[in-house]
Structure formats: C-alpha cells, structure tokens
Amino acid sequence: MKVSSRTKLLAGASLLTALTFTPVAYAEDASVSVRKMADAIFSVIEADRAVYTQKVVHRLQNEEEVITAEEKWKEESALPLPAQMLRMGAERVAEKRSGFTYALLSSWAINKQNSPKTDLEKKALKTIEQSKQNFYGVETLGKKKYYTAVYPDIAVSKACVDCHNDHLDSPRKDFKIGETMGGLVIRIPLDE
C-alpha cells in the first residue's frame, strides 16, 4: 500500500500532539513574525500561479492544444492569463476590506492598474530590479501603518519576455530571460 506523505505527516503530527499538546489558552497567545506571515502568503500565491501556469495553461494550450489563454478571455472563450487570474483573486480579497492586499506590479506595466503608486512601491521595485532580493518595509497610508513585502517576479521563460515585448501596451520592449519584470506586493495592516 502506498502511504501518502500527508498520511505520514498526520501520523507524525498525532504522535507529536500526544507528547506536546498545547491547551487552547496558550495556543491563542502563539504568534508569528509579520515577515514570516508575508513569506507564507507569498509562497501560497506563488504556488497557485505556478500550478495554474503549468497544469492548466501550458498543458491545455501548448501540450494538448485544446484551448488558448488570451487577454480577452471572456470575448474569446479562452483561459485567462496567469497575471489576470492573480489580479482577479487579489480583487476578491480587497473586496473584503480587511486591509490586507496583494498585487503584481511593474515599473513597465502592460495594465496601468499594475503600476507602482506609493513611494515604497516605487522604491521597492527599483531595488528588486537590481538586487532580485525580497524587499521589506513599513509604510503609513492614510492613518494606518502597513508592513509591505515585495517579491521579485522574474522572467523565467521565453513566453514571458516574448509576450510582454510584443504587447502593444507594454512600455518596454527589451525584456530578457532572467530579468526582474515586476514584483508581487503583499501589504499587511499592523496593529496599533
């Protein structure tokens, strides 16, 4: 019988729970740093985007040639582009008005909605374009303080650079593989 890694994990976890069970009162006090929280959220968004790109778009469009992904996906009964999927998810989260938001931005955005707006966003994008390292900062917007993390979005394949370089609305036409094309901005409201 094949034992899934999840079954093994749960078996291990229940053994651990038996040894180190934490009562609820203490569990409520447990905390995690805001940077770790941002990094965890990023890993989920990034994984969903990669899975959609590889297992849906690339498989159905490039391998099985069943359907294409198009910017005007509604009109053309096609699949949305990965960046559009990400934006639609981000818009749903923003509707909840929790203060927590995320967005894929770029200094050379095809969709002007994805241009940097706050001073921190502009500075972060300039920094990650050079360093390709995550950028972390705190900013005050209105009266509220936010922890803002920005993760570089790299041109990992020829498809990224070709589509952006050829796009009519792209202000930049010379992207190369390996370059930073933009950044995923995650903004977490801080407690007063």
Instruction: Verify binding: residue 118, ligand HEC, rule CB under 6 A.
Output: no
Which of 37, 45, 60, 163 binds ligand HEC (CB under 6 A)? It is 163
**Quick check: 64 and 75 in contact, CB under 8 A?**
no
The sign of the dihedral angle between the CA atoms of 162, 166, 167, 169 is positive
Output the six-digit token pair for 71.
């910017």
Which of 101, 106, 127, 134 binds ligand HEC (CB under 6 A)? It is 106
Euclidean distance between CA atoms 102 and 109, whole angstroms: 16
Instruction: Verify binding: residue 121, ligand HEC, rule CB under 6 A.
Output: no
Which of 38, 79, 85, 109 binds ligand HEC (CB under 6 A)? It is 109
List all residues 6 or more positions away from 37 whose beta carbon is below 8 Å from its beta carbon.
Answer: 188
Count the neighbouring beta carbons within 10 Å of the beta carbon of residue 16.
10
- Of the candidate spans 14-22, 34-42, 127-135, 152-160, the one that interacts with ligand HEC by CB under 6 A turns out to be 152-160
Binding site for ligand HEC (CB under 6 A): 71, 81, 83-84, 87, 104, 106, 109-111, 114, 153, 155-157, 159-160, 163-164, 181-182
